[in-house]
């Protein structure tokens, strides 16, 4: 418990230290308005990382989330072009994302194919489907309706809708993980699949549910992404799956499954978001970002491995705490 606690504490300290470092040179960066902008900018990463967290907790990995996002984003833009109202588009992209995730999940569940192979394959298939849908054409800002573009940017109580969606999803996923049988099943399946089977949890079905959750969140983010940047094409969010895995790993989600918290996951995403937003402010070329997130992944796994040497994993945190 101490280790789990300290991991999040260390990450929080690292984020504060990073902010202090930037603030010492550029005080404007830590102004509340700018921090809110950084949070909004990190929202897509947070949403995908929360879905990925569920998948990684169950000992799987989903490399197709960015392709899923791009496909759903393109479908949202196409539906908008066809004059379909926004609420319907939202429902459709979430359903489509969930279906794409379910396809991954079915292959993992029923055929027992390793998730890395499945999602490595579907990653290229989903991107290819965008090309088949559009013939490689772009959908640009002027082809999107004003309402479609405005929704994620609409400011309510000081924050844009995009940030509010991220906050709502963080709360919902935290509730799911801590307060529902499914959430606890994610941890149980990853912590010890054999024990999970004996307690009556279907490992495959739980993994399937994790893929559906990750897919649905990717679908929702697809719309938000396309609407916010007002452009849709085959390669949007290319390579974003690596950032998502990086956010989870930095956030202390154990890649072997069964350990990790929503708070850690969100902080992992924010850590990367702050670096991404700070680089241009500090005057470092954005081309550094890829190498920095790579290095951050490696440091984080090395660090996680150190703290996971403890025997056994904790599934019932509260029960553990009382003893």
Partner 1 sequence: MTTIQTGRHIPDRLTSPFSRALKSWEALLLIVAVAIFVLNSLASPYFLDPWNLSDATFNFTEKAMIAFAMAILIIAGDIDLSVGAIIALASTMMGVAMTLGAPTPVLVLLGLGTGLACGAFNGLLVARLGLPAIVVTIGTMSLFRGISYIVLGDGAFTGYPASFAWFGQGYVFWVITVEMVIFALAALGFGILLHRTNFGRMAYAIGNNATAARFSGIRVGRVRFILFLLTGLMSGVAAICLTSRLGSTRPSIAFGFELEVVTIVVLGGVAILGGSGSITGVVLAALVMGLVTFGLGLLNVPGIVMSIVVGALLIAVIALPRLWAMLRRG
Tell me whether residue 280 or residue 294 sits nearer to partner 1 (CB atom): 294
29: Cα separation from own chain's centroid = 24
Q: DSSP characters for 172-205?
A: HHHHHHHHSHHHHHHHHHHH-HHHHHHTT--HHH
With residue 160 as reference, give the H or E element that holds it: strand 159-160
Binding mask 134-173 for partner 1 (x = CB under 8 A): --x-------------------------------------
Tell me whether residue 142 or residue 194 sits nearer to partner 1 (CB atom): 194
- Answer for the pair 210, 186: CB distance below 8 angstroms, yes or no: yes
Six-digit token string for 321: 């705490």
Tell me whether residue 198 or residue 287 sits nearer to partner 1 (CB atom): 287
Find the binding residues for partner 1 in span 304-323 (CB under 8 A): 305
207: helix, strand or coil: helix
Nearest distance from C-beta of residue 173 to partner 1, angstroms: 22
List, in sequence order, the alpha helices (H) in the chain.
2-25, 32-57, 65-81, 86-111, 115-134, 146-150, 161-179, 181-191, 193-198, 203-229, 240-250, 262-282, 288-307, 317-322
Sign of CA dihedral 239, 241, 242, 244: positive
Sign of CA dihedral 107, 108, 110, 113: positive
- The answer to whether residue 256 forms part of the interface with partner 1 (CB under 8 A) is yes
Q: Single out the residue of 132, 156, 157, 319 in contact with partner 1 (rule: CB under 8 A).
A: 132
- The answer to whether residue 121 forms part of the interface with partner 1 (CB under 8 A) is yes
Q: Single out the residue of 74, 98, 249, 274 in contact with partner 1 (rule: CB under 8 A).
A: 249
Q: Single out the residue of 33, 82, 111, 319 in contact with partner 1 (rule: CB under 8 A).
A: 111
- The answer to whether residue 33 forms part of the interface with partner 1 (CB under 8 A) is no
Q: Which residues contact 251 (CB under 8 A, 6 or more apart)?
A: 11, 49, 53, 260, 261, 264, 265, 266, 267, 268, 269, 271
- The answer to whether residue 3 forms part of the interface with partner 1 (CB under 8 A) is no
- The answer to whether residue 188 forms part of the interface with partner 1 (CB under 8 A) is no
Nearest distance from C-beta of residue 63 to partner 1, angstroms: 8
Binding mask 44-83 for partner 1 (x = CB under 8 A): -----------------x----------------------
Tell me whether residue 230 or residue 242 sits nearer to partner 1 (CB atom): 242
Backbone angles phi and psi of 114, in degrees to 5:
-55, 135
Tell me whether residue 111 or residue 157 sits nearer to partner 1 (CB atom): 111
Instruction: From 90, 80, 75, 58, select the one nearest 177 (Cα to Cα).
Output: 58
Nearest distance from C-beta of residue 193 to partner 1, angstroms: 9
Helix axes 32-57, 161-179, angle to 10 degrees: 40
- The answer to whether residue 19 forms part of the interface with partner 1 (CB under 8 A) is no
- The answer to whether residue 118 forms part of the interface with partner 1 (CB under 8 A) is yes
- Answer for the pair 89, 214: CB distance below 8 angstroms, yes or no: no
Region from 23-31, 123-131, 184-192, 204-212 binding partner 1, contact rule CB under 8 A = 123-131
- The answer to whether residue 280 forms part of the interface with partner 1 (CB under 8 A) is no
Q: Single out the residue of 33, 157, 291, 319 in contact with partner 1 (rule: CB under 8 A).
A: 291
Q: Which stretches of the chain bind partner 1, using CB under 8 A?
A: 61, 107, 110-114, 116-118, 120-125, 127-129, 131-132, 136, 234, 242, 245-246, 249, 255-256, 285, 287-295, 297-298, 301-302, 305
């Amino acid at each position: 418990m101490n280790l789990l606690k300290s991991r999040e504490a260390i990450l929080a300290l690292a984020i504060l230290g990073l902010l202090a470092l930037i603030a010492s040179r550029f005080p404007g960066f830590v102004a509340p308005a700018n921090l809110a902008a950084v949070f909004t900018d990190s929202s897509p990463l947070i949403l995908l990382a929360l879905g990925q967290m569920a998948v990684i907790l169950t000992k799987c990995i989903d490399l197709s989330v960015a392709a899923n996002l791009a496909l759903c984003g393109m479908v949202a833009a196409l539906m908008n072009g066809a004059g379909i109202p926004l609420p319907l588009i939202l429902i459709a992209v979430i359903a489509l994302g969930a279906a794409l995730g379910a396809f991954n999940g079915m292959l993992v569940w029923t055929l027992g194919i390793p998730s890395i192979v499945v999602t490595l394959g579907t990653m290229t298939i989903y991107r290819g489907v965008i090309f088949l849908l559009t013939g490689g054409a772009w959908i640009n800002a002027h082809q999107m309706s004003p309402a479609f573009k405005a929704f994620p940017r609409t400011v309510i109580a000081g924050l844009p809708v995009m940030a509010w969606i991220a906050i709502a999803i963080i709360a919902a996923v935290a509730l799911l993980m801590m307060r529902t049988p499914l959430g606890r099943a994610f941890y149980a399946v990853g912590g010890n699949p054999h024990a999970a089977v004996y307690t009556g949890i279907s490992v495959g079905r739980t993994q399937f549910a994790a893929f559906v959750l990750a897919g649905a969140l990717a679908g929702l983010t697809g719309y938000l992404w396309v609407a916010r940047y007002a452009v849709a094409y085959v390669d949007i969010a290319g390579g974003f799956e690596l950032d998502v895995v990086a956010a989870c790993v930095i956030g202390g989600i154990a890649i072997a499954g069964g350990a990790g918290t929503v708070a850690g996951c969100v902080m992992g995403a924010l850590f990367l978001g702050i670096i991404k937003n700070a680089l241009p402010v500090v005057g470092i070329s954005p081309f550094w970002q890829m190498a920095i997130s790579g290095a951050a992944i490696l440091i984080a796994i090395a660090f996680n491995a150190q703290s996971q040497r403890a025997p056994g994993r904790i599934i019932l945190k509260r029960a553990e705490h009382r003893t």
